[in-house]
């Protein structure tokens, strides 16, 4: 994992997964260094990751007061229960649906849950975090937030984009990607992660982008994109194109067998 610091208030815990045929997908978690520190998502649960150790390099887990679970997919919950054990005062911010989905695998302790809905706010001591549902999402429990003090928008999966290399995936700026390449990658991710976008009324969908345009975030922090400072207007214009983008069609069994054959001894290079 790679750690980036954004000013004095935000740490990015960067990771990535290679997705065959798509690229290198960033998988970020974040720490908001508020008066009551907030951890946003808890990374991958793969055996070779040690989220808690990485987190401990930027904040003492015992000081963590809030764990904002943007949604309960496995790439967001990897270190959740180890963090709960090491952060005795922390509560998990999620929705009713999020807590319910978690209960199908490993229930959250009810006394450690704080239920919050889009449109509500969380007071973390020195600022309010304004909860909202991002325009694109792949889980009904998805909940992002805007930090009124730092101007950062934590958008969960929304705005994600696979990167062409591991270094870019764990990089400190989405601005390092050429504008056209970033647009293409974000539209690809939109169609992969939110295929329902092809079925919606474009006008009604466009209305869901308006609150983020009004918000005017200084930086967008997505789970699946390097930090994006000053790019929000352009990225929102990209998301507006998603309903008309080409639908994603994944590899079939024949394509899988071809990929596997490419890695057979003697077939490489």
Query: pLDDT (tens digit, 9 = 90+) per residue, 163-179?
Result: 999 999 999 999 999 99
Mean pLDDT of 176-189: 97
Q: Which two tokens stand for residue 193?
A: 């992660």
Query: Which pLDDT tens digit goes with each residue over 200-214?
Result: 999 999 999 999 999
pLDDT category, 268, cuts 50, 70, 90?
very low
Domains in the chain, CATH or no CATH each: 2-262 (3.60.15.10)
The answer, yes or no, to whether residue 58 has pLDDT greater than 50, is: yes
Q: Is pLDDT at 266 greater than 80 in this prediction?
A: no
Per-residue pLDDT band at 21 (split at 50, 70, 90): confident
pTM here is 0.94
Higher pLDDT, 158 or 48: 158
Could you tell me how far CA 88 lies from the centroid of its own chain?
25
- Report the pLDDT value the prediction gives residue 265, as an integer from 0 to 100: 63
Average predicted confidence (pLDDT) for the chain: 95
Distance of CA 121 to the CA centre of its chain: 19
- What confidence category does residue 269 fall into, taking pLDDT thresholds of 50, 70 and 90? very low
Contact 19, 25 (CB under 8 A): yes
DSSP sequence for 90-147: -EEEE-HHHHHHHTTTSPPPGGGEEE--TT-EEE-SS-EEEEE--SS-SSTT--EEEE
Tell me the per-residue pLDDT of 81-121, one tens digit each, with 9 for 90 and over: 999 999 999 999 999 999 999 999 899 999 999 999 999 99
The whole-number pLDDT of residue 97 equals 97
Percent of the chain with pLDDT over 70: 98
Q: How confident is the model at residue 160 (pLDDT cuts 50, 70, 90)?
A: very high
pLDDT of residue 20: 83
Q: Which of 189, 193, 191, 165 is CA-nearest to residue 178?
A: 165
Per-residue pLDDT tens digits for 213-224: 999 999 999 999
Structure tokens at 66: 């809030």
């Amino acid at each position: 994992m790679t750690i980036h610091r954004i000013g004095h208030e935000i740490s990015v815990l960067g990771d990535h997964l290679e997705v065959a045929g798509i690229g290198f997908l960033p998988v970020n978690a974040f720490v908001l260094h508020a008066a009551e520190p907030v951890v946003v998502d808890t990374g991958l649960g793969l055996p070779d990751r040690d989220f808690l150790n990485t987190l401990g390099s930027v904040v003492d887990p015992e000081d963590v007061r809030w764990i904002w679970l943007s949604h309960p997919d496995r790439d967001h919950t990897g270190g959740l229960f180890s963090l709960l054990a090491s952060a005795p005062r922390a509560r998990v911010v999620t929705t009713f649906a999020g807590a319910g989905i978690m209960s199908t695998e490993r229930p959250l302790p009810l006394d450690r849950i704080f239920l919050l809905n889009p449109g509500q706010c969380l007071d973390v001591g020195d600022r309010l975090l304004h909860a909202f549902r991002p325009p694109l999402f792949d889980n009904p429990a998805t909940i992002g937030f805007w930090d009124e003090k730092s101007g950062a928008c934590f958008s969960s999966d929304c705005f994600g984009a696979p990167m062409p290399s591991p270094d870019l995936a764990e990089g400190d700026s989405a601005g390092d990607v050429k504008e056209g390449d970033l647009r293409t990658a974000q539209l690809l991710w939109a169609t992969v992660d939110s295929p329902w976008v092809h079925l919606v009324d474009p006008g009604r969908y466009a209305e869901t982008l308006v609150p983020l345009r009004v918000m005017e975030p200084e930086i967008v922090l997505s789970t699946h994109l390097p930090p994006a400072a000053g790019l929000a207007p352009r990225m929102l214009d990209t998301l507006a194109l998603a309903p008309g983008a080409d639908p994603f069609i994944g590899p079939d069994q024949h394509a899988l067998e071809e990929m596997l054959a490419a890695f057979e001894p003697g077939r490489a290079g």
